[in-house]
């Protein structure tokens, strides 16, 4: 009889630790295709997500609520670009954080989350007030740099995801300042890439807010992405295909939100909408299959320092309760929890004051491209979108289920995967 290898023992113990929080269905040494019978598994996953929300969000929201984000937040960036990044990084942190946090802010939470949610709602609205007021020490430099159109778009996306909490309660002055801030980014000329969607999303935000909006910017973004579709639920980032996660970071979530926010100005927009949603469901199925039994995913392409924000599209489709056939909400919850645990608990992920550091698995500063700074990292929040679902929704309340890679590597017989033809 051969002895178990050290690597196999480590792998087995890691999967047991995931099961302790309901994040996996079984350990690799005995991967069961049955749901985890532990009654506490489902509640524990949501508790863990809220704990992660607080750990990541609190420093940003507390500082911005006091107009102290510039004072408090460190600016980590590549050598030689710190000062340039300092012009945009605060808007990045705030806009990106809200884009993922918004559905939870908009929801009716269980009692044990209500106090934290009420605080974060107040702080988020104060952040919008301070961040868009040109006289505030925390004004976020809308239009000053090309980067500002990116994060104005993420801020607009967050507001569109939580209009009752992030728009309706704003006073008239703050609403006017917000509209002017978004309009200021129009001077940025977006490149022939996913950046077209940032300009379009700003216009969608203005449309929602009752301000004049430019339908041509929206039309151009939609027309080009229609051309840039490369097949099987995937778009090119511009005319070329890129192996990265920008279909999830930006392209597909923004396409969906654009098409359900702006009134159709052409037949193409109306005809394109169901196609966009069908493609998004296929891409969500692909994303779920990318999560390994160990809770890892391929480290391919740029912007990997956004960490589990790579799964915004899978999270968005989960929030919309539009998961494709064969992908259960419970298995997505378990898969995303495994990824989150794997990354958030890596030593070095936070600095001594609780701010995110540049890295994919811990602190890896050389993984940050020149456009990456501390604020950029808060796009990880985009994985939290399912927190907008009620706690009694099956996504949260259902017993733990193994995700696709767990089932396949356990030898479970499953239907073959197929490409989407539209």
pLDDT of the residue at 43: 66
pLDDT of the residue at 6: 47
DSSP string, 248-303: IIIIHHHHHHHHHHSPP-SHHHHHHHHHHHHHHHHHHHHHHHHS-TTS-----SS-
DSSP 380: G
Rounded distance between C-alpha atoms, residue 308 and residue 2, angstroms: 38
Rounded distance between C-alpha atoms, residue 307 and residue 299, angstroms: 10
**Percent over 70 (pLDDT), the chain:** 90
Q: Any bridge partners for residue 183, and if so which?
A: none
Digit-coded pLDDT (tens) for 332-379: 999 999 999 999 999 999 999 999 999 999 999 999 999 999 999 999
pLDDT of the residue at 41: 57
Domain spans in the chain, listed from the N-terminal domain onward: 38-409
DSSP string, 334-375: HHHHHHHHHHHTSTTSB-TTS-B-S-SSS--GGG--TT-BGG
Fold of 38-409: Glycosyltransferase (1.50.10)
**3-class DSSP assignment, residue 234:** strand
Which sign does the torsion angle of CA 250, 256, 260, 262 carry?
A: positive
* Residue where the block lists tokens 């309706």: 168
| Residue 199 pLDDT > 60 | yes
pLDDT of the residue at 34: 36
User: What is the value of pTM for the model shown?
Assistant: 0.90
Give the C-alpha distances (Å, rounded to integers) separating 19 from 26, 294, 333: 7, 11, 13
- pLDDT, greater one: 277 or 19: 277
């Amino acid at each position: 009889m051969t002895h178990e290898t050290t690597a196999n023992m480590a792998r087995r113990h890691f999967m047991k630790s995931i099961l302790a929080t309901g994040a996996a269905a079984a350990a690799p040494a005995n991967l069961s295709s049955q749901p985890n019978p532990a009654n506490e598994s489902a509640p524990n996953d949501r508790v863990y997500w809220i704990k992660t929300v607080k750990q990541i969000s609190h420093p940003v929201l507390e500082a911005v609520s006091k107009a102290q984000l510039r004072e408090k937040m460190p600016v980590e960036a590549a050598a030689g670009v710190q000062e340039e990044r300092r012009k945009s990084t605060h808007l990045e942190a705030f806009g990106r954080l809200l884009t993922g946090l918004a559905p939870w802010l908009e929801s009716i939470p269980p009692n044990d989350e209500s106090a934290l949610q009420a605080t974060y709602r107040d702080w988020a609205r104060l952040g919008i007030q301070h961040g868009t007021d040109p006289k505030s020490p925390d004004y976020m430099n809308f239009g000053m740099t090309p980067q500002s159109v990116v994060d104005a778009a993420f801020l607009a996306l967050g507001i569109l995801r939580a209009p009752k909490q992030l728009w309706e309660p704003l006073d008239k002055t703050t609403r006017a300042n917000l509209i002017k801030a978004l309009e200021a980014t129009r001077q940025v000329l977006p490149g022939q890439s996913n950046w077209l969607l940032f300009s379009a999303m700003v216009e969608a935000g203005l449309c929602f807010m009752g301000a004049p909006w430019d339908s041509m910017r929206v039309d151009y973004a939609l027309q080009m992405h229609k051309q840039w579709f490369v097949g099987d639920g995937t778009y090119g980032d511009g005319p070329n295909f890129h192996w990265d996660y920008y279909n999830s970071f930006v392209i597909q979530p923004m396409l969906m939100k654009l098409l359900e926010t702006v009134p159709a100005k052409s037949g193409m927009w109306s005809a394109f909408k169901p196609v966009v949603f069908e493609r998004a469901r296929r891409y969500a199925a692909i994303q779920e299959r990318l999560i390994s039994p160990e809770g890892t995913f391929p480290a391919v392409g740029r912007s990997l320092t956004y960490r589990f924000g790579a799964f915004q599209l899978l999270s968005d489709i989960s929030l919309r309760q539009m998961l494709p056939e064969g992908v259960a909400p419970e298995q997505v919850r378990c898969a995303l929890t495994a990824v989150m645990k794997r990354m958030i608990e890596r030593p070095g992920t936070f600095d001594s004051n609780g701010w995110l550091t540049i890295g994919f698995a811990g602190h890896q500063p050389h993984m940050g491209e020149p456009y990456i700074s501390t604020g950029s990292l808060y796009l990880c929040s985009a994985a939290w979108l399912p927190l907008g679902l009620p706690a009694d929704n099956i996504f949260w309340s259902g017993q733990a289920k193994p995700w696709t890679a767990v089932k396949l590597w356990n030898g479970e017989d499953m239907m073959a995967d197929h490409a989407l033809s539209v």
